[in-house]
Structure 1
Amino acid sequence: MSNAILDIHDKPKTGQWISLSLQHMFAMFGATILVPQLVGLSPAIALLTSGIATIIFVLITQFKVPAYLGSSFAFIVPIQIATETGGIGSAMIGAMFVSLVYAIVSLIIWKTGYKWLMKLLPPIVVGPVIIVIGLALSGTAVDMAMNIPTADGGSEYSLLHFSAALVTLATAIICNIYFKNIISLMPILIGIIAGYAYSALIGIIDFSPVAAANWFQVPEFLVPGIDYSFQVTPTLLFVMVPIAIVTISEHIGHQLVLGKIVDRNYIKDPGLHRSILGDGIGTFISSLVGGPPKTTYGENIGVLAITKVFSVYVILGAAVFAILFSFFGKLMAVIDTIPTAVLGGISILLFGIIASSGLRMLVDNGIDFGNNRNLVISSVILVIGIGGAKLEFSESFAIEGMALAAIVGVILNLILPGLNKQEVDDGTE
């Protein structure tokens, strides 16, 4: 039996509904706006599309899964690479192709079941790739925290800015470690707020854009064929699409954890095919208007675990609030003035947690590194991914870094002797 205060289809009273939904929105807020800040997209569009994607997800999963969709960190490096080679439009088109992969995987699961997927993407492949995602971004986080741009296009060390990064980092750590209630689920947001306040005190924020901003502001859409032209290349596809290996695995993990919290088996009902399709369509709609790819959010799953409020109506309320906040021009202007050092400080913790979560996956699944097969697979993935290895077939076609590491990991797992044949835990007792 579920120990829910409000179960899946229970509707809260109006005042309770508003407060609970705002709580969910703020839980995802910091991480969702951080991704677009790092890749050059609009935070307002990220908020708007997170709300829209969540509503789509709840509809596709037949109002059975109380999950919130926010910006995916797995795509930060691929979006940066795609933007450097073909502009931000290329990154958006790449995200659309990722959503197509979700749709295809969903269709195959619907027809054949899901266990083949869980065997294709075991922890020994996914864990090291997640570690690569975090560590590949570590240099970016430290550079943002310590350095400021110079007139010649370079950068220089700034102790003043680094102090803002350290205040941000320290606040987030304190919230995460010393608080056990809802505050512990929002270290990113609270850390950014503290870092921003400190930055204002030491005078490194220009508030003029906030004063000039309108209270109501339509988000900046990026529509293909109108706001940008694009060209689909093999390199673009191989930069973006293989990351679906990680995000689909992350999605499965979230569905298993969420199912245990709310006492349902979401792998079977409404089915993994529906939830993956919901992720895919949410990502497609987001990229169609200039938002980052979407994923279910662990922060919001944590809120469910603490509050015991599992109502999908609360999740839908959070989605509506996210959409409304995206049109709040003053707030979006404040977000645009967040110093790079503050974003760098919170990124040090966040990217480290991403890497550590990959390590935790290996530990939790009892991966034996005394087994040479496991040692080889993980070693090759880590060095190829972090080292930035590249397969360059022509000037317009190359597979590199994280994408290459993920592909190689899947291949090694399939061809090396000793492939694990054990049954996959689908969350059923």
Structure 2
Amino acid sequence: MTDALRKLPLSLQHVFAMFGATVLVPLLTGLNPGATLVASGLGTLVFHLVTRGKVPAYLGSSFAFIAPLALFVSKHHAPGQAVAGLLSVSIVYFAFALLVRLVGFDRVRRAIPSVVVGPVVSIIGLSLATTAVTVDASTHWDVAIVTLAAAVACAIAGPRALRIIPILAGIVIGYLYALARGLVHVGQAASSSWIELPTLHAPVWSLAAIASMAPIALVTMVEDLGHMFVLNEIIERDVTRDPGFGSILFGNGLATLLSALLGGPAETTYAENLGVLAMTRNYSSRIIQGAAVIAILLGLVGKVSTVIESVPAAVVGGVGILLYGMIAAMGIRHMIEAKVDLTNTKNLIVVAVIFILGIGAPQNGIAIATVAGLLIYWLLPDRTQA
């Protein structure tokens, strides 16, 4: 019991890190936020079961499927068709998981050089910069600065108890500051119910839904690979080898299948939570699993979920600046440790194209940039040595 209480703040950090993005997807698509939280928690637990607890990652709502989900749920009022589309996504994941196991990930990994991996890792963090700064922090810059300063101070100069939970400490201090400023509104908690159960929808098979969602799985799998590269840098262990990228894909596919049946969106590994890992240097999967259990409870308890939703966007932006920046720095570190030669013109072009496409492309920029970087690296000749 004592150990569980000690890990509770560490798990709460991960809950706050994923909460905003995970809840935003159902708000944009018409899905139920409570069901989405329950699905993310159960999906994460299933993912950890499949990967044998060797991949400390949290699975939350994928942004890649917002457009088709909004089309079938909000516009066409056909949640059953959306479920069918998401089930097809899980099937694509299963098929590629089997393919990776048959072919062997080593062949896949050899095709992806460090000059591509490094900048892809960086743009995973940098692509979230606009969300952290323009969307969230800019709503109230003073709140964001107080939150960021508190998190940094706790991480560097705080007592040991705070150094292991700097993100949570920053959020609490930022929240209290925002509360004093009159920027926190929790009035809805009084009117919300205590228990809210997900509304289940049976799949209604639709070729249009399947055609609009299944191909997007190829994009999210590339993003998953990028996230695993980030995780490898953080924990200094290659999870694509053990438990293997095939297991990771299968776990993600199973999480998406479960989420679809519960009325949630597609699931994907979260860069936000990778930032928490990098910041705290605590890589225990038990802590992530604790966050998953908390997410399930929040999805079922309406009043508690409403209070957490009251955390101002500026507080989220303040910690986001730190978390996303840590991920970007990891990519630079990877290139340094891999001794990538940036005096080589071809290497410099690869990095340049990945950065600009990854940050500039409004939709699926990470996947587009990864493919572009690989094509340049493998198809263009290297004449710098001639």
TM-score by length of 1: 0.70
Structure 1 spans left out of the alignment, 5+ residues: 1-14, 149-160, 390-398, 419-429
| Aligned counterparts of 1:203 and 1:251: Cα–Cα separation in 2 | 40
TM-aligned CA deviation for residue 141 of structure 1? 2.5
Alignment match, 1:247:
224
| Aligned counterparts of 2:170 and 2:240: Cα–Cα separation in 1 | 35
Alignment match, 1:354:
327
Structure 2 spans left out of the alignment, 5+ residues: none
Say whether residues 1:273 and 2:246 are aligned partners.
yes
| Aligned counterparts of 2:21 and 2:349: Cα–Cα separation in 1 | 32
Say whether residues 1:208 and 2:172 are aligned partners.
no
Alignment match, 1:414:
378
Alignment match, 1:32:
18
CA contact (8 A) 1:31 1:71 kept: no
| Aligned counterparts of 2:69 and 2:3: Cα–Cα separation in 1 | 40
Alpha-carbon spacing, 1:19–1:195, altered in 2? closer, same or farther (3 Å): same
| Aligned counterparts of 2:130 and 2:103: Cα–Cα separation in 1 | 42
CA contact (8 A) 2:122 2:332 kept: yes
Alignment match, 1:48:
38
Which residue among 405, 422, 425 is the counterpart of 2:369?
A: 405
The AA in structure 2 aligned to 1:117 is V
The AA in structure 2 aligned to 1:244 is M
CA contact (8 A) 1:107 1:273 kept: yes
3-state DSSP of counterpart to 1:326: helix
Which residue among 196, 218, 224 is the counterpart of 2:175?
A: 196
Alignment match, 1:426:
none
Alpha-carbon spacing, 1:127–1:239, altered in 2? closer, same or farther (3 Å): farther
Alpha-carbon spacing, 1:355–1:99, altered in 2? closer, same or farther (3 Å): farther
Alignment match, 1:5:
none
> What do the CA deviations read for 1:64-123 (whole angstroms, capped 9, x no partner)?
637353337xx54x3566678877779988876664454333212322322012123333
Alpha-carbon spacing, 1:20–1:322, altered in 2? closer, same or farther (3 Å): farther
CA contact (8 A) 2:174 2:315 kept: yes
TM-score by length of 2: 0.77
Say whether residues 1:69 and 2:46 are aligned partners.
no
| Aligned counterparts of 1:410 and 1:234: Cα–Cα separation in 2 | 26
CA contact (8 A) 2:26 2:265 kept: no
Which residue among 262, 279, 285 is the counterpart of 2:258?
A: 285
> What do the CA deviations read for 1:110-146 (whole angstroms, capped 9, x no partner)?
2232201212333322332333333333233222345
Identity of aligned residues (%): 29
Alignment match, 1:113:
104
Within 5 A, what are the aligned runs for 1:16-415?
A: 16=2, 18-19=4-5, 22-41=8-27, 44-61=34-51, 63=52, 65=54, 67-71=56-60, 75-76=62-63, 78-79=64-65, 99-145=90-136, 147=138, 161-179=140-158, 181=160, 183-218=162-197, 223=201, 231-232=208-209, 241-251=218-228, 254=231, 260=237, 270-288=243-261, 289-291=263-265, 293-295=267-269, 297-298=273-274, 319-388=292-361, 401-415=365-379
| Aligned counterparts of 1:340 and 1:199: Cα–Cα separation in 2 | 10
> What do the CA deviations read for 1:153-192 (whole angstroms, capped 9, x no partner)?
xxxxxxxx22112112222222333348464454333322
TM-aligned CA deviation for residue 369 of structure 1? 0.7
| Aligned counterparts of 1:177 and 1:43: Cα–Cα separation in 2 | 35
| Aligned counterparts of 1:119 and 1:293: Cα–Cα separation in 2 | 27
Alignment match, 1:393:
none
3-state DSSP of counterpart to 1:204: coil
Alpha-carbon spacing, 1:325–1:295, altered in 2? closer, same or farther (3 Å): same
3-state DSSP of counterpart to 1:57: helix
CA contact (8 A) 1:71 1:295 kept: yes
| Aligned counterparts of 1:138 and 1:91: Cα–Cα separation in 2 | 30
| Aligned counterparts of 1:191 and 1:48: Cα–Cα separation in 2 | 26
| Aligned counterparts of 1:337 and 1:224: Cα–Cα separation in 2 | 32
Alignment match, 1:421:
none
| Aligned counterparts of 1:129 and 1:95: Cα–Cα separation in 2 | 26
